[in-house]
Chain A
């Protein structure tokens, strides 16, 4: 239990209303978007300024109190779940967009700005910030930086780290450090911006973010293709990229998801189809037209049963809505659903799909596939209704098998969700031991007392 004087001091720092300590409030900061990771904080603070965060960190350091920073808690790695009680530092009340600069093509935001709100503001200025984690309706900018989030658009536009130019970070000592700046080019010493981007809240609290923007693409087309064979769909993705075309999105859903979508939305998808690919191309009007044509050819050559373009925005929106409903369909289908995040090189997709099918058959667990085919990040979701301990252990083994297979194909443990608590047991197998050692040493430089989101990323941290 935190001493009453700590709570009192926090109240002095941020004001009484922004300190939550009732059990009923603490309980609601005990989870994130994952199914099973929980941990209850001893106090929740909702600061409104960098100075307040600095004071909170000084207090935490002085008293060795663990601090778990978070935004909206939409992450799916366990990363914002407090494991040692302590303070949850929630930045949702720091939600101002400080600047949108149309001529420098940059924006400066506070960490609590919700991604969708930011997108709406940019749309009015005809500007575009591509990273599109599918939690955009809830997730905050600070969270997306800390998780280095990605989404469907990353095939063409890259992930969050490709857009962060500068950060203001409060270190555990309370020191307010600025890294990077507001220029696209910046070659001044070691680049610490991408270090904090994706640091999962283990190094400091992000309090201000400068982002690179791009002009909104003038035109967009949505294409849809149906395949009777999943591996053919995987091969087509490689052939599209191999033809020198980089679509904005290439999304993959399997038969299970198609059936569930059709059940709920009735948009006329063939329920016997093994795979649906949804592809967006964007850019200038002329470019999207010729790219769309070429992709349709490639889809047909690659064995698509149906390949066509959405006839208008309404139809396109319907397809994308179906796609975004896909995950919910999976999650509501079984008691335990674990969405894996392994990512493989894009030229190994059809092999990857085939091997997942083998793993599923061998283990007996259904594996559902939905995700970002264009960047090799098709999430295999493993599910079971069993609560039997033995079955759940076998489930863990299946996940390990998936991970090992992805690694064999030259892939990685996590494409976009991060390590957090969910994947740390596998980290040592995904990274060079020297690299892990270097990371731990970096952590110790910024957070010598290990109070900043402890227990995340590494085992025995």
Chain B
């Protein structure tokens, strides 16, 4: 077969040579731990991409299936003696695959037509929320990242209710700081908080304002694009999203989000999506201002004192590290410091707190049973910690933990970090 141009893979070509095939990733890869096949392992995926580049394999469904079987948790990289960033190679390969094959129905349609356009998405979800009670039992506290919302229908998942009133209709464009204004930040809501749990967004905005921060909620912001470029490899659509988000937050001191996945995706714009010097510059400037709220509160504001709402009084809480927050952004200690500072709440560390929950966005949709197997091990960790509440800071993890808790009939409640501090 003729040598093809692999635009995105060629950008990480050096990285491809990093893997020395030692196979140590086997011990930590959550997917391999369940599957036990080489193609499920980082080392195997690296080899597949190398063979694609050398022309020994071609882009087809079989190859795509294997490269999509990665949650992107980055545990392999963290433990790799050569620090090979194979999950990034996988994302690049997905982009080249998507470029050639297009995206699998219905994802392509959803990403291009729904996600990229917030108005359409709002409308679709509004309709969905009306139909939800009719089509399936209304439950609470489960489902991922809106991007995958529509396609989740009909797969037997517990899906949370879509909010009656979206966040942008609940909060003003500018929330003034209480007292003297120290900073002026933009709040990036993410799809989950915009459409499903606007109360979290309200809490975050309120908390920031009470701490002397003026919070702007730019109406022009859209989806972060995580599912679109990190998940599906549709870089073209994601660039439109990135352009819009970067423009929407111009002139603000920081961009703060309470979604780990959004925070990660927003900081990855320059790495994956910059195809021109202008974009490189704009994305880098934008990404440099992005902070997850846990890091913003602790590192930027230097906050050390937090209060828990009354319903947490006397409760034992544990923390689940979202991969996007911990390994991707290096935010590990901050949420723990926040939880440990809560009066009347006991913090316990669970074993393997940083192990991937198995969500991985689209991964959960494509490989639901496998995703649930990975979640089961997380559930055992939670059980070992014997906590009343599992706290995390990623709507994706939150959905996964709640879904697996309900499947396995576990008593633990799953809450967002922003639910437990005031």
Tell whether, in the assembled complex, residue B36 and residue A92 are in contact, meaning their CB atoms are under 8 Å apart. Answer: yes
Range, interface on chain B: 20 to 34
Interface of A is mostly: loop
Tell whether, in the assembled complex, residue A27 and residue B56 are in contact, meaning their CB atoms are under 8 Å apart. Answer: yes
Closest B residue by C-beta to A325 = B81
- Tell which of A24, A74, A92, A139 touches B57, judged by Cβ atoms closer than 8 Å: A24
- Compute how far the CA of A459 lies from the CA of B80 in the bound complex, rounded to whole angstroms: 35
Q: Which of A30-38, A164-172, A411-419 is near enough to bind chain B? A: A30-38
Tell whether, in the assembled complex, residue A137 and residue B82 are in contact, meaning their CB atoms are under 8 Å apart. Answer: no
- Tell which of A28, A74, A331 touches B39, judged by Cβ atoms closer than 8 Å: A28
A93 within 8 A of B: yes
0/1 per residue, A14-42, Cβ < 8 Å to B? 00000010111101111111110000000
Inter-chain contacts of B21 with A (CB < 8 A): 31-35
A252 within 8 A of B: no
B26 within 8 A of A: yes
Output the least CB separation between B80 and chain A (Å): 8
- Tell which of B28, B37, B82 touches A25, judged by Cβ atoms closer than 8 Å: B37
With A24-B62, A332-B82 as known contacts, state yes or no: A74 contacts B22, CB within 8 Å. yes
10 closest A-B pairs (Cβ-Cβ)?
Answer: A328-B81, A28-B38, A28-B44, A137-B27, A138-B23, A74-B23, A138-B26, A331-B20, A137-B24, A24-B62
Tell whether, in the assembled complex, residue B27 and residue A116 are in contact, meaning their CB atoms are under 8 Å apart. Answer: yes
- Tell which of A23, A138, A324, A332 touches B20, judged by Cβ atoms closer than 8 Å: A332
- Compute how far the CA of A254 lies from the CA of B82 in the bound complex, rounded to whole angstroms: 19
Output the least CB separation between B59 and chain A (Å): 11
B12 within 8 A of A: no
Q: Can you sample 7 A-B contacts with CB below 8 Å?
A: A27-B51, A35-B21, A46-B37, A137-B24, A137-B28, A138-B22, A328-B80
- Compute how far the CA of A332 lies from the CA of B66 in the bound complex, rounded to whole angstroms: 27
- Compute how far the CA of A20 lies from the CA of B79 in the bound complex, rounded to whole angstroms: 28
Inter-chain contacts of B81 with A (CB < 8 A): 324-325, 327-328
Tell whether, in the assembled complex, residue A23 and residue B37 are in contact, meaning their CB atoms are under 8 Å apart. Answer: no
Inter-chain contacts of B41 with A (CB < 8 A): 28
- Tell which of B26, B28, B39 touches A24, judged by Cβ atoms closer than 8 Å: B39
B47 within 8 A of A: yes
With A23-B62, A29-B38, A328-B22 known, 13 other A-B pairs at CB within 8 A are A24-B48, A27-B48, A28-B39, A31-B47, A33-B20, A33-B21, A33-B23, A35-B20, A92-B36, A114-B26, A114-B27, A135-B23, A331-B82
Inter-chain contacts of A332 with B (CB < 8 A): 18, 20, 82
Inter-chain contacts of A35 with B (CB < 8 A): 20-21
0/1 per residue, B39-62, Cβ < 8 Å to A? 101011001100100001100001
Inter-chain contacts of A24 with B (CB < 8 A): 39, 48, 57, 62-63, 66
With A24-B62, A31-B47, A332-B18 as known contacts, state yes or no: A73 contacts B36, CB within 8 Å. no
With A27-B57, A33-B21 as known contacts, state yes or no: A328 contacts B26, CB within 8 Å. no
A141 within 8 A of B: no
0/1 per residue, B1-36, Cβ < 8 Å to A? 000000000000000001011111111100000001
Output the least CB separation between A217 and chain B (Å): 24
A72 within 8 A of B: yes
- Compute how far the CA of A327 lies from the CA of B81 in the bound complex, rounded to whole angstroms: 8
- Compute how far the CA of A30 lies from the CA of B28 in the bound complex, rounded to whole angstroms: 22
With A325-B81, A328-B81, A332-B82 as known contacts, state yes or no: A25 contacts B39, CB within 8 Å. yes
Output the least CB separation between B19 and chain A (Å): 10
Closest B residue by C-beta to A140 = B26
Tell whether, in the assembled complex, residue A20 and residue B37 are in contact, meaning their CB atoms are under 8 Å apart. Answer: yes
Tell whether, in the assembled complex, residue A73 and residue B47 are in contact, meaning their CB atoms are under 8 Å apart. Answer: no
Tell whether, in the assembled complex, residue A28 and residue B20 are in contact, meaning their CB atoms are under 8 Å apart. Answer: no
- Compute how far the CA of A395 lies from the CA of B57 in the bound complex, rounded to whole angstroms: 31
Closest A residue by C-beta to B36 = A92
Inter-chain contacts of A32 with B (CB < 8 A): 21
Inter-chain contacts of A138 with B (CB < 8 A): 22-27
- Compute how far the CA of A302 lies from the CA of B47 in the bound complex, rounded to whole angstroms: 47
Inter-chain contacts of B62 with A (CB < 8 A): 22-24
With A73-B38, A332-B18 as known contacts, state yes or no: A28 contacts B48, CB within 8 Å. yes
Output the least CB separation between B13 and chain A (Å): 14
Inter-chain contacts of B25 with A (CB < 8 A): 138
List which A130-167 residues lie within 8 A (CB) of chain B: 135, 137-139
- Compute how far the CA of A282 lies from the CA of B43 in the bound complex, rounded to whole angstroms: 35
Residue of A20, A46, A331 contacting most chain B CB atoms (<10 Å)? A331
Inter-chain contacts of B20 with A (CB < 8 A): 33, 35, 328, 331-332
Tell whether, in the assembled complex, residue B36 and residue A93 are in contact, meaning their CB atoms are under 8 Å apart. Answer: yes
Inter-chain contacts of B37 with A (CB < 8 A): 20, 25, 28, 46
- Compute how far the CA of A74 lies from the CA of B38 in the bound complex, rounded to whole angstroms: 12
Inter-chain contacts of B66 with A (CB < 8 A): 24-25
Tell whether, in the assembled complex, residue B38 and residue A33 are in contact, meaning their CB atoms are under 8 Å apart. Answer: no
With A114-B27, A328-B81 as known contacts, state yes or no: A25 contacts B22, CB within 8 Å. no
With A324-B81, A332-B18 as known contacts, state yes or no: A23 contacts B57, CB within 8 Å. yes
Inter-chain contacts of B18 with A (CB < 8 A): 332
Closest A residue by C-beta to B47 = A28
Output the least CB separation between A16 and chain B (Å): 14
Output the least CB separation between A329 and chain B (Å): 8
- Compute how far the CA of A29 lies from the CA of B48 in the bound complex, rounded to whole angstroms: 11
- Compute how far the CA of A27 lies from the CA of B50 in the bound complex, rounded to whole angstroms: 11
Inter-chain contacts of B80 with A (CB < 8 A): 328
Closest B residue by C-beta to A29 = B38
Output the least CB separation between B76 and chain A (Å): 11
With A27-B56, A28-B44 as known contacts, state yes or no: A328 contacts B82, CB within 8 Å. yes
- Compute how far the CA of A93 lies from the CA of B37 in the bound complex, rounded to whole angstroms: 9
Inter-chain contacts of B47 with A (CB < 8 A): 27-28, 30-31
- Compute how far the CA of A32 lies from the CA of B47 in the bound complex, rounded to whole angstroms: 11
- Compute how far the CA of A324 lies from the CA of B22 in the bound complex, rounded to whole angstroms: 12
